[in-house]
Amino acid sequence: MADTEPGDVEKFGVTSILVCLAHCLCVFHPPGDMPGGIIVCGVELIRVDTKEFIYVESGHKRLDIYVAEQIPDLSRSLVQKLIGSGHVLVNGAVTHASYKLQAGDVVGVIVPAAEPTEIVAEDIPLDIVYEDDQIMVINKAKGMTVHPAPGSKHGTLVNAILAHCDDLSGIGGVERPGIVHRLDKDTSGLLVVAKTDAAHASLQMQIQERAAERRYYALVWGATKFNEAVVDAPIGRHPSDRQKMTVIKETERYTSRVAITHLKALERFDNFTLLEAKLETGRTHQIRVHCAFICHPVVGDPVYGGIKRNLPSSLSKISHKALAGLIEGLNGQALHAYSLSFDHPITGERLSFEAPMPADMQAIITWLTASDRTGKR
86 — pLDDT class (breaks 50, 70, 90): confident
Let me know whether 291 and 179 are in one domain: no
More confident residue, 135 or 111: 135
Average pLDDT of 156-178? 71
Give the tens place of pLDDT for each residue, 340-374: 999 999 999 999 999 999 999 999 999 999 987 65
User: Domain range holding 62?
Assistant: 31-113
Average confidence (pLDDT) over 170-187: 74
**Catalytic sites, residue numbers:** 184
At residue 117 the predicted structure's pLDDT band, cuts being 50, 70 and 90, is low
Q: Are 324 and 311 in contact (CB under 8 A)?
A: yes
- CATH number of the domain to which 80 belongs: 3.10.290.10
d(CA 187, CA 144): 9
Residue 39 in this model has a pLDDT that exceeds 60: no
* 79 is a domain residue: yes
| Same domain, residue pair 146 and 174 | yes
- 288 vs 316, which has greater pLDDT? 288
pLDDT over 70 at 102, yes or no:
yes
How far apart, in whole angstroms, are the C-alpha atoms of residue 226 and residue 351? 31
Confidence (pLDDT) at 81: 84
- Between CA 23 and CA 41 the distance in angstroms is 10
Query: Residue 262 pLDDT > 90, yes or no?
Result: yes
**Same-domain check for residues 245 and 329:** yes
Q: Which of 188, 208, 228 is the last residue of a domain?
A: 208
Number of domains in the chain: 3
pLDDT interval class at 34 (50, 70, 90):
very low
List, in order, residues 6 or more apart from 32 with CB less than 8 Å away: none
Residue 57: pLDDT over 90: no
CATH number for 261? 3.30.2350.10
Question: Can you give 297-359 as a three-state secondary structure string?
Answer: CECCCCCCCCCCCCCCCCCCHHHHHHHHHHHHCCCCCCEEEEEEEEECCCCCCEEEEECCCCH
pLDDT value of residue 360: 95
